[in-house]
Amino acid sequence: MYVCICKAVTDSQIREAIDRGACTRKKLVHCLGVGRDCGKCNGDVRELLQACARHRCREPKMVAMLPVAAN
């Protein structure tokens, strides 16, 4: 679904950018251009950021498996 009509950016593109590290609205504006024109999408972009942050908090923590040194 299109979130930013002005830049033709979908919610999937925004979620992918968030997963890749665009963790603030400012970073999303920089990498996708959302919110730069009319600004009507800013509320939805903010909601997506919050939803992704909540989802991340519920994900189990990844534990790195380090090789054990052989003696």
Looking at residues 31 to 50 of the shown chain, list those that interact with ligand FES (rule: CB under 6 A). Answer: 34-41
| Backbone torsion region of residue 63, taken as left when φ is above 0, otherwise alpha when ψ lies between -120 and 50, otherwise beta | beta
Of 38 and 53, the one with the shorter C-beta distance to ligand FES is 38
Cα→Cα distances 11→6, 18, 48, 68, Å: 14, 10, 8, 42
- Taking the complex as a whole, how short is the minimal distance between the CB of residue 18 and ligand FES, in angstroms? 16
Of 5 and 56, the one with the shorter C-beta distance to ligand FES is 5
Where do we find the tokens 């498996």? 65
Residues that bind ligand FES (CB under 6 A): 4-7, 34-41
